[in-house]
Amino acid sequence: MLVVISVHLGARTISAYIKDLVARGQDEERQQQVLDILNAWTSGQKAEEAATTNLTVAALQAELAKKEAELDRIKAAVGKGMVAAAFEAGDDDGPT
């Protein structure tokens, strides 16, 4: 468990930890078990980070689309000389 915390915080690398296992006399089977577990954990971390990034990108794209639509509405109203109407059609604070 401590190795996961150390790797997550960047205090240790997996390869350095495996070298520590060798120095402590751990056999190859144990080294492979630890390596497999740590690799599975880092794969899960990467997948979670990718999913979070994808959610953030999707949220930003949705917000951008909303703002673009609002801007288009305001441009159309300005073109017609109806700025006040553009604000009334949106929220009470006007464009954001």
Q: Give the pLDDT means over successive 10-residue stretches in the chain (96 positions).
A: 76 84 90 85 73 77 90 82 64 52
Tokens 């915080």 — which residue?
9
Which pLDDT does position 25 carry in this prediction?
93
Nearest to 4 by CA among 30, 41, 36: 41
CA angle 51-52-57, nearest 5°?
A: 95
Query: Which structure tokens are listed for 59?
Result: 């949220």
Does this model's pTM top 0.85? My answer is no
Which pLDDT does position 86 carry in this prediction?
61
Which pLDDT does position 17 carry in this prediction?
84
Q: Which helix (H) or strand (E) holds 93?
A: none
Which pLDDT does position 23 carry in this prediction?
92
